[in-house]
């Protein structure tokens, strides 16, 4: 089971000085947030200043405000008020700028290369009674509340190896990300809100 700890991520300042980005994951893994050669990237950004967004030709973006009240996004001349926990999809090539009518915000960014991958973000309310699984190709990011994660209990399966047995639950801190798996599926229990990011390969 892999957990990406938000506290361990290095903030990378924007070129325009309007904020910082922390990269949770990208593919290929050797890529960095600055070189732009990845096919997909999941990151969290702190936005403290209105201004233009960087262009990502050949990419599609899904942006979700995860802290703060409102981000006013202008995409190719059209205004889109983005409220908390409401994902918004737009072209990475579009001329995009932002305003902060209610103050600083933090957002979750999913960027995928058009024709290669498709990204999705869903906001899920957690339960202490029913665990939420995180499957292969997904990240589960704790946005708010308290939660633990453990590998799903597969002990009932006769062919199960000891490695698939559930371990001790690990506590998640805010914005920690759980990497999904189909063989040792992590399950998250708790109270609060979880962002489930899915990166699906495009057939063809």
The parent domain of residue 192 ranges over 121-201
Q: 102 and 150, same structural domain?
A: no
The CATH number of residue 190's host domain is 2.60.120
Q: Are residues 16 and 75 in the same domain?
A: yes
Note the pLDDT of residue 17.
Answer: 74
Place of tokens 């006769």: 158
Q: Which residues are CB-contacts of 97 (< 8 A; sequence separation ≥ 6)?
A: 50, 51, 52, 53, 73, 74
Clarify whether residues 22 and 83 are in a common domain.
Answer: yes
> Cα(87)–Cα(58) distance, rounded to whole angstroms?
20
Q: 137 and 101 in one domain?
A: no
- As a whole number of angstroms, the distance between CA 169 and CA 171 comes to 7
- Give the pLDDT of residue 157: 47
* Same domain, yes or no: 127 and 108: no
Domain count, the chain: 2
Cβ burial, residue 7 (10 Å; 0-12/13-18/19+): exposed
Neighbour tally for 20: CB within 10 Å: 15
Residue-level pLDDT at 29:
61
pLDDT of residue 153: 74
Does the predicted TM-score (pTM) go above 0.75? yes
Q: For 63-106, write each residue's pLDDT tens digit.
A: 999 999 999 999 999 999 999 999 999 999 999 999 999 999 99
Query: Which residues in the chain land under pLDDT 70?
Result: 29-36, 154-166, 204
């Amino acid at each position: 089971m892999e957990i990406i700890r938000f506290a361990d991520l290095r903030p990378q300042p924007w070129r325009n000085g309007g904020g910082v980005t922390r990269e949770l994951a990208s593919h290929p893994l050797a890529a960095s947030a600055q070189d732009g050669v990845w096919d997909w990237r999941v990151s969290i950004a702190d936005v403290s200043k209105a201004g233009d967004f960087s262009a990502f030709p050949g990419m599609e973006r899904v942006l979700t405000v995860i802290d703060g009240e409102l981000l006013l996004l202008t995409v190719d001349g059209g205004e889109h008020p983005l409220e908390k926990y409401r994902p918004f999809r737009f072209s990475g090539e579009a001329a995009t700028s932002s305003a902060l009518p209610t103050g600083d915000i933090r957002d979750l960014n999913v960027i995928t290369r058009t024709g290669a991958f498709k990204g999705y973000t869903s906001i899920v309310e957690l339960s202490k009674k029913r665990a939420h699984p995180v499957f292969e190709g997904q990240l589960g990011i704790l946005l708010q509340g308290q939660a633990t994660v453990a590998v799903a209990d597969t002990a009932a399966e006769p062919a199960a190896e000891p490695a698939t047995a559930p371990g001790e639950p690990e506590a998640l801190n805010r914005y920690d990300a759980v990497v999904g798996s189909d063989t040792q599926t992590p399950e998250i229990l708790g109270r609060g809100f979880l962002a489930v990011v899915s990166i699906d390969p495009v057939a063809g």
